[in-house]
Amino acid sequence: MKIKKPIFEVNKLKHKTRKLHERNFNRLGFDLHPSVSLISAILILIFIGITLFNPTATNAYLIGLQRKITGNLNWFFVISVNIFLLFPIFLMISKFGEIRLGGPKAKPEYSNFAWYSMLISAGMGIGLVFFGVAEPLFHVNTILPHNNSTSQAQALATTFLHWGLHPWGIYSLISLALAFFAYNRGLPLSLRSVFYPILKDRVFGKIGDIIDITAVISCLFGLATSLGYGAQQINSGLNYLFGIPQGTKIQVFIIVIITLIATLSVVSGIGKGVRILSELNIKMAGLFLIVILILGPTLFIFRSFGNSIGYYLNNFFELSFFSENGSGWQGSWTIFYWTWWISWSPFVGMFIARVSKGRTIREFIFAILIIPVLLSFIWFTTFGATAFYQNAITGGELLKAVNTDTSTALFAMIQGMDISNILKTIISIIGTFLVISFFVTSSDSGSLVVDNLTSGGKLNSPILQRIFWALTEGAIAISLLISGGNEALNALQTGVILSGLPFTIILLIMMYSLYLGLKTDLHKLKEYREESLIFDIITTHIDVNNP
């Protein structure tokens, strides 16, 4: 008697995915979905052309539109972002948490350390370095509207709100949906796939193309503006440290270097280049953090951590659900962040999904909501508290420097520390390299995501195509810097943030779609375990009777 162990139901959608990929343009070393790639390119060129034609007017118009949206719909973003956090937590603690991405037998492709490193580097690594000093210092010198007061604990807790559980809740939601429908349903690793339970086969048609085009534009614009701003920030740091002049030529040179390094990383793939750079980032960031913790006001930092965590947890719901009348402070800070994280979620979510096969939903969500969040809290407390301490003993000199040029905040703080000049120089150089390495990982991971979307959700694409998208990002950033400068970059960044409104609606619909898919998979998992148990009992019985 030959008994076969029941196999988890083979996905019936794989042949439709193959048909989608068969329509790709496969020539000259490319493997592109024609509609998504061509229409995305045309729309990008049109928007950039309008921006460069009159960057000042375009920027002013977009900022005005953004203020109207953030001022009138702040309540909508506040409620939505809280839902985006609560829903993944519900999945984590429920029976849905038992589902494994890729099926019951799937194994993780990367070690935990490599996985955590890539999560943090792609999620908000550069933001930790850039805003670690500046944001807490801004908040502690502002009357915050939550209770019309301010304190060091409240300033850090407000920073925790912007960089903690809520943004990572957004990332966990979209990355889980992408990974589930790609690995458990055999659909393309693309934004269109998460709507299959609702749209069915229409995701393979024009509606699916529109969804992916929206994601491509958001990713490319976001990455291009980040490269532009990153070049300016690095230039500011080099000027502050070594007197290297600030200007467009230097910034273009910086973008070229970052793009070339990112291209080499992209060519190597996730398993080598991206993983190695991400691990290096985390090790450098850890060393940098420890150095500041030891050489800075250590006891003050420890006390600040306890006070701010206590304030954050004690006032969590008040901070999370607060809605301000009008478009004042909250529109400029909290709602700005919510729209920014939401508009970036397809990029970050796609990358996290790519590296998370083999994880259970419970492990997946727990890791995303705990590891990066805890690191963010420790980071902001260490640099924020050091900034508080230094600003107090210097009579507000650090705040003046930050207000003059936010990009020099970290270096201004280092220069104000009570240590030798040699140590200041060494720490500043480490900080500069950390900024550069985080920008490289943002660029290379972003290139891989855009490559995914424009190839119809394929996990592996030709090397020439990966190089093309990495160079395209750099070219867009350079053209904007040369032609429009800050005004062009501001316009593009504001345009990306405005996409937060439609993406919020998309995420709300996606939650329902994900729930439908998980509900079906949970039923299959139960059947699989019951059949596996029967199989084990029968085979054990046969072994006993046939020694």
Domains of the chain: 33-530 (1.10.4160)
Model confidence band, residue 93 (pLDDT cutoffs 50, 70, 90): very high
Contacts of 321 (CB under 8 A, 6+ apart): 78, 79, 82
Give the pLDDT score at 186: 84
Give the pLDDT score at 535: 46
pTM value? 0.85
Q: 290-323, pLDDT tens digit by residue?
A: 999 999 999 999 999 999 999 999 999 999 999 8
Model confidence band, residue 87 (pLDDT cutoffs 50, 70, 90): very high
Q: 31-48, pLDDT tens digit by residue?
A: 777 888 888 888 888 877
Model confidence band, residue 238 (pLDDT cutoffs 50, 70, 90): confident
Model confidence band, residue 366 (pLDDT cutoffs 50, 70, 90): very high
Give the pLDDT score at 6: 34
Q: How far is CA 330 from CA 95, 149, 166, 336, in A?
A: 37, 14, 15, 8
Q: Picking from 156-165, 397-406, 453-462, which range would have the lowest pLDDT averaged per residue? A: 453-462
Contacts of 17 (CB under 8 A, 6+ apart): 186, 187, 188, 457
Which tokens belong to 119? 């999560």
Give the pLDDT score at 8: 38
Site of tokens 């805890």: 374
Q: Over the range 32-69, which residues count as b (16 or more CB within 10 Å of their CB) and which as e? A: bbebbbebbbeebeebbeebbeebeebbeebeeebbeb
Contacts of 103 (CB under 8 A, 6+ apart): 8, 183, 184
**Chain centre distance of CA 436:** 17
**CB distance 87 to 507 below 8 Å:** no
**Read out DSSP for 390-456?**
HHHHTTSHHHHHHHH-GGGHHHHHHHTSSS-HHHHHHHHHHHHHHHHHHHHHHHHHHHHHHHHHHTT
Give the pLDDT score at 5: 37
111 pLDDT more than 90: no
Across the range 159-177, mean pLDDT stands at 94
Model confidence band, residue 127 (pLDDT cutoffs 50, 70, 90): confident
Model confidence band, residue 17 (pLDDT cutoffs 50, 70, 90): low
398 pLDDT more than 50: yes
269 pLDDT more than 60: yes
**CB distance 353 to 179 below 8 Å:** yes
69 pLDDT more than 70: yes
Closest CA to 225 of 53, 51, 352: 51
Most confident of 135-149, 468-482, 505-519: 505-519
Give the pLDDT score at 501: 85
Across the range 45-73, mean pLDDT stands at 81
Query: In this predicted model, which residue has the larger pLDDT, 27 or 56?
Result: 56
Model confidence band, residue 380 (pLDDT cutoffs 50, 70, 90): very high
Across the range 479-488, mean pLDDT stands at 74
**CB distance 221 to 44 below 8 Å:** yes
Contacts of 240 (CB under 8 A, 6+ apart): 408, 411, 412, 415
3 pLDDT more than 50: no
Q: How far apart are CA 233 and CA 239, in angstroms?
A: 10
71 pLDDT more than 60: yes
390 pLDDT more than 90: yes
Q: Could you tell me what percent of the chain has a pLDDT over 70?
A: 86
Site of tokens 């995914």: 452
88 pLDDT more than 80: yes
